[in-house]
């Protein structure tokens, strides 16, 4: 879920929190990892999105391969530690 803080252009969504996907109507294929660690969730993000009959969709903005690997690694390490800390 994204919390809408500001709208630069277009109509503001009626809800403060909106669920979004990447791409159009094919909702089964979204591969990008969402923010998943406390540090990532605490940040603010600029996103471009549009709405169609299937809902809100993010417009993909390019990121370097190294930056994406770093993002993914942070999530992997966080999840690994989280799973280790669960009661057995």
Q: Is the pLDDT of residue 4 over 60?
A: yes
Confidence (pLDDT) at 83: 95
Handedness of CA 15, 19, 23, 25 (dihedral sign): negative
Instruction: Give residue-wise pLDDT tens across range 10-69.
Output: 888 888 888 776 655 555 555 567 788 999 889 888 888 888 888 888 887 777 888 888
d(CA 72, CA 34): 9
Confidence (pLDDT) at 34: 77
The helices-and-strands tally (H runs, E runs) of the chain is 2, 5
- pTM of the model as a whole: 0.65
DSSP string, 35-70: P-SHHHHHS-----EEEETTEEEEPP----HHHHHH
Instruction: Give residue-wise pLDDT tens across range 56-71.
Output: 888 877 778 888 889 8
């Amino acid at each position: 879920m994204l919390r809408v803080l500001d709208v630069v252009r277009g109509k503001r969504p009626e809800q403060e929190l909106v669920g979004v996907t990447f791409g159009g109507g094919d909702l089964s294929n979204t591969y990008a990892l969402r923010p998943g660690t406390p540090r990532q969730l605490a940040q603010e993000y600029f996103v471009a999105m549009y709405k169609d009959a299937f809902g809100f969709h993010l417009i993909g903005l390019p990121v370097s391969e190294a930056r994406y690997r770093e993002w993914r690694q942070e999530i992997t390490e966080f999840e690994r530690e989280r799973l280790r800390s669960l009661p057995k």
